[in-house]
Structure 1
């Protein structure tokens, strides 16, 4: 008999141990962690939930058959992504070198559950929802160094919906690799005619740096860790905002126009830069509006994000490389009212700072990697910096297991890290979707700021913001 439902109405029915095919993991295998992996050793895992409306699945047999297909295809996908079946461990004979170790019989915990009382219509929406209602839909990583766990929760009454929770340890791989795995799994489940090409599991493409490995593998500074672990995470609200192609173009036009007015070269304002800039500005305004004190000297607001270096390192790293191949970007702007006195000032200042950070990361000047730990500490000195999880390039809304594209994808872990989640817009047309998790008063302030900025982007209001 199943245990009574805990918080959130989620009742665990069973947990299976899904292993790769025996032929794929017939002997012990070890994949070393590079310095780019080691930086995530002590970070919390990334937690995603994919919500699906099960309009083509009917009856108990249909649901059971769907769950069976999910488990069987997970095994198939683990055949090519076998490190995800293993665990992170200290390399034998080493004191500070780690590896992804897998051996025959290793596998992934696949939990099947059901939830009463919260419908898919309440969960798979853009409007503000309680984080506490979504957290039970993501599994915890089993102890012992596991890097992947899956939870399939049927949203009752069946077969109304499915919440597929994925928890992934960032030290195993980055978002490019983890979503490559998800697309591979989905293609196997849907029996797609064309499947993604297999990953390249060869860490020798990354020239490891012993001097940086030890630095990056250290436990997170206590003060920094505190910044990224708010005590009110479970009490926060989460909401989604969409920036259309037209919104993004208006931001680019405003930034270009303001650069011309100031007589300075315009920053390289891509759609991603525009999205990052407007959300950072709104987040800064929202936190200021809720009474968060400024540092005595006015200080700076910091924005930390990552860029993929697969096409930039020497030797070149394959696009299908499995692991972490991310470089840091740090943007900053004055944390005072003058810097964002108007929408135009704010957009120009924020987008310019983001563009400069991207340019610095792409150039990778001498000392780029070496100075990064100190720059994180500096960015956290006066509060938690704004950060990013996800990317429009990951195509998370294309993860179709054979019962339709996701109705909604949520990165639940942003409630804990304070990051914004980023994905391609569900409506296509080059839109970008952004998720934010804030306390209720902060969410109210953010919504008002965002709505005001969007209103100012309308062609008829352009003159009002300049």
Structure 2
């Protein structure tokens, strides 16, 4: 396997500030944001192939200047992303603010790693660590934490990648994806404007919090270190590093296979025709069962985290472009023997379906306790990152669709990443990180199960 660390050359580290932003900008964090205050940064990679005959000079003479200029113009619409999260002594909770002089750190590098290997669709031939040099580290200290950092890496004569690191307390996956799409739009169209569907909505008053969950979460962090009361440190919690032999797996559910899973579940659940059978529910359940079996999870109670975008579920509904976090969910618990039984898939689908239906009327029930799950877990808790609805493969900066998009941070959190397919055929692409032996078992279970449908 290739080693992406072997010949990374730093070209420059620069700061890109928002254009035309004179006013300072401050946003109080809501409980949806504070929930993620100590979570590691969320990292994603976008790979692009260069088709010009003079590929390297084209990158430095055309691509890189356009990316920087368009980034500055994009930050005009997203000034908080050039800023920092802080927790002032006179504030009961953290804030996200942009101050004059704030800017996004952009690393430019060159890599001799094998571009075609890194964008390969082969199931699990990429070591987890191979992507690490391609994403930047957020600047974080006890007093402040950057909202965003970027890295642009050239693979000479092949292409380039854009790596993003986002502080999860600043915004969720929906809006971080919207930001990158806004950047791509401005770059491709050489404009300083974005269409309405890419304009962020900043009004924090639309988030209901009558029981002051924001203060419950804030006080949790203030008092989590008994030896240091009133601890406002913004340093993230330490999640488990990936095992040395961890590999990345990329797997697809085609529309035909998703329909076959739906048909199978319907057949076995004839007495409950109302069961929720969305594409997310079906594919998440299928992947969940494969992981539980591949890792031979021993716990008698198997846990799964369900996360949903709450923007359209709140009452009243809020803007789809609401800037920040707006993720709610449930933790589903099922008996191990049910998942490992012959109808394990139906058990999983039923559990996820019931959890999703429960969110419709009791969205924020138990929200005071959500923070218990946003921390390194002693027991295995499988979760999800991203969504096929984000359509990340539509992110075209002017040089074509990405050759590959991938989550990087799921090798620490253990999440299953979801996205649309690069083929644009309606398939759902999932990404998992497992040790090599477990990945081989997972791949076999995944393929054989679909083959038998």
TM-score (norm 1): 0.87
Q: Structure 1 pair 368/210, CA: closer, same or farther in 2 (3 Å)?
A: closer
Question: Is 1:286 matched up with 2:294?
Answer: yes
Tell me the distance in 1 between the aligned counterparts of 2:63 and 2:364: 52
Q: Is the contact made by 1:251 and 1:347 (CA closer than 8 Å) also made in structure 2? A: no
Give SS of 1:253's match.
helix
- Write out per-residue CA displacement over residues 39-70 of structure 1, whole angstroms, 9 at most, x where no aligned residue: 01000011000011111373443111201111
Give SS of 2:130's match.
helix
Q: Structure 1 pair 357/216, CA: closer, same or farther in 2 (3 Å)?
A: same
Return 199-208 or 42-51, whichever deviates more.
199-208
Q: Which residue of 1 aligns with 2:7?
A: 9
Q: Is the contact made by 2:128 and 2:242 (CA closer than 8 Å) also made in structure 1? A: no
Q: Which residue of 2 aligns with 1:460?
A: none
Q: Which residue of 1 aligns with 2:195?
A: 196
Higher-helix-fraction structure: 1
Give SS of 2:13's match.
strand
Give SS of 2:80's match.
helix
Tell me the distance in 1 between the aligned counterparts of 2:137 and 2:438: 28
Return 30-39 or 201-210, whichever deviates more.
201-210
Question: Is 1:267 matched up with 2:267?
Answer: no
Tell me the distance in 1 between the aligned counterparts of 2:41 and 2:374: 21
Q: Which residue of 2 aligns with 1:81?
A: 78
Q: Which residue of 2 aligns with 1:229?
A: 239
CA shift for structure 1 position 358: 0.9
Tell me the distance in 2 between the aligned counterparts of 1:331 and 1:371: 14
CA shift for structure 1 position 18: 0.1
CA shift for structure 1 position 428: 2.4
Tell me the distance in 1 between the aligned counterparts of 2:408 and 2:178: 20
Q: Aligned to 1:352, which of 346, 350, 353?
A: 350
Q: Structure 1 pair 18/285, CA: closer, same or farther in 2 (3 Å)?
A: same
Question: Is 1:167 matched up with 2:165?
Answer: yes
Q: Aligned to 2:139, which of 135, 142, 153?
A: 142
Q: Which residue of 2 aligns with 1:125?
A: 120
Tell me the distance in 1 between the aligned counterparts of 2:243 and 2:285: 24
Q: What's the Cα RMSD here?
A: 2.5
Tell me the distance in 2 between the aligned counterparts of 1:73 and 1:189: 5
Q: Structure 1 pair 283/136, CA: closer, same or farther in 2 (3 Å)?
A: same
Tell me the distance in 1 between the aligned counterparts of 2:302 and 2:345: 14
Give SS of 2:146's match.
coil
Q: Which residue of 1 aligns with 2:151?
A: 151
Tell me the distance in 2 between the aligned counterparts of 1:11 and 1:235: 25
Q: Is the contact made by 1:51 and 1:409 (CA closer than 8 Å) also made in structure 2? A: yes
Q: Is the contact made by 1:180 and 1:196 (CA closer than 8 Å) also made in structure 2? A: no
Mapping for residues 341-420 of structure 1, pairs under 5 Å: 341-342=341-342, 345-364=343-362, 367-373=365-371, 376=373, 380=377, 383-420=379-416
Instruction: Name structure 1 gaps, 5 residues minimum.
Output: 458-466
Q: Which residue of 2 aligns with 1:464?
A: none
CA shift for structure 1 position 320: 1.1
TM-score (norm 2): 0.89
Q: Which residue of 2 aligns with 1:300?
A: 301
Instruction: Name structure 2 gaps, 5 residues minimum.
Output: 226-234
Q: Structure 1 pair 450/34, CA: closer, same or farther in 2 (3 Å)?
A: same
Give SS of 2:384's match.
strand
CA shift for structure 1 position 317: 1.1
Tell me the distance in 1 between the aligned counterparts of 2:34 and 2:236: 20
